[in-house]
Amino acid sequence: MDKLIITAAVNGGVTDRLKNPNLPYTPEEIADSVFACWNAGAAVAHIHARNPDGTPCYEASTYGEIVERIRDRCDIIINLSTSGLNLPRDTSPSQAWNHLPFRPEIASFNCGSVNHGGRPFINPPETFRALAAEMQAFGVKPEIEVYHEGVIQEAHLLITEGLIQGRPLFAFALGIRGGASASCKTLLHFAESIPRDSVWSALAIGRSQLPINLHTLLLGGHVRTGLEDNVYYARGELAASNEQLVARVVTIARIVGRDIASPAEARTILRL
């Protein structure tokens, strides 16, 4: 079993400070949170840019500042969002990935549509094929976001066609309204449905985060945690920070005997 790769999803594009005042918005706040998560044991940071008021930001320069601030401080693997869920109407889908020239080592990759939290998240084939080509051009590894089984079937086709190359990386996103349920049964089915040489991680929303973290690390997958997915540390107790959630996963992994991967070790596992 590989060492455990922990991804810190530090802010997302939906959750705001009305739900948890500790959510980072600015490039400086995001970089500070990522650095703290790296110190706590995270090997990967998944990041969405935000405007100062917390609304989603698609400005390449903002992503560039975030990337620069993080790279100046630590060797964590940077994973940038390419989600167009919050893009303004009549905006080109490519606006969601205009930061790829900053060459994050990983970026999220959505190759299927879903009713995401009660609203449609549309990812047509022409859009995700264009994104796959851009990722190849800039040497960015796609993290295939799996909301339901149909996404896995699309990914199989893209791998066969050579639009996704190298060791495939899947992220099972569970418990989202409109998507797959957050259960161990779902994890097992998804893990058995992806190509044999793939790497997989899992995340779950809200109160499902911790149980899925535990199931995943026991099954040999990798774990995502952070305020993007869950704003609570315990029932009725808001999480103090992203690094608090990372530190809990580290503690659990050590209790059950699973070692934690450093960023360098994670790069080897992911073949970056």
Condensed to tens digits (0 to 9), the pLDDT of residues 40-65 reads 999 999 999 999 999 999 999 999 99
The amino acid at 9: A
Per residue in 148-165, pLDDT (tens digit) is: 999 999 999 999 999 999
Task: Give pLDDT, residue 119.
Answer: 81
Which of 104, 103, 86, 107 has the alpha carbon at shortest distance from 95? 86
Give the pLDDT band (50/70/90) at residue 89: confident
191: pLDDT strictly greater than 90 = yes
Per residue in 109-150, pLDDT (tens digit) is: 999 988 887 788 899 999 999 999 999 999 999 999 999 999
Contact 99, 63 (CB under 8 A): yes
Per residue in 175-190, pLDDT (tens digit) is: 999 899 999 999 999 9
Question: Parallel, antiparallel, or unpaired for β 232-234 and 77-80?
Answer: unpaired
Q: Which residue has the higher pLDDT, 122 or 248?
A: 248
Distance from C-alpha of 14 to C-alpha of 9, rounded to nearest angstrom: 12
- CA distances for 269 relative to 5, 11, 77, 200, 201, angstroms: 9, 25, 12, 11, 12
38: pLDDT strictly greater than 80 = yes
The amino acid at 194: I
Percent share of the chain, pLDDT over 90: 92
90: pLDDT strictly greater than 90 = no
Kindly report the pTM of this predicted structure: 0.96
